[in-house]
Amino acid sequence: GAGVSQTPSNKVTEKGKYVELRCDPISGHTALYWYRQSLGQGPEFLIYFQGTGAADDSGLPNDRFFAVRPEGSVSTLKIQRTERGDSAVYLCASSTAGGPTYTDTQYFGPGTRLTVL
Residue 98 CB neighbours (<10 A): 22
Q: H helices within the chain, ranges in order?
A: none
Choose the binding region for other proteins from 12-20, 39-47, 66-74, 76-84 (rule: CB under 8 A).
39-47
Query: What does R_g of the chain's alpha carbons equal in angstroms?
Result: 13
Size of residue set near other proteins by CB under 8 A: 31
First to last CA, the chain: 37
Residue 72 engages other proteins in binding (rule: CB under 8 A): no
We find the least distance from the C-beta atom of residue 51 to other proteins, in angstroms, to be: 13
Residue 43 engages other proteins in binding (rule: CB under 8 A): yes
Q: Tell me if residue 96 falls in helix, strand or coil.
A: coil
Residue 109 engages other proteins in binding (rule: CB under 8 A): yes
We find the least distance from the C-beta atom of residue 81 to other proteins, in angstroms, to be: 26
Say which amino acid occupies 55. A
Say which amino acid occupies 18. Y
Residues that bind other proteins (CB under 8 A): 4, 31, 33, 35, 40-45, 48, 55-56, 59, 91, 93, 95, 98-111
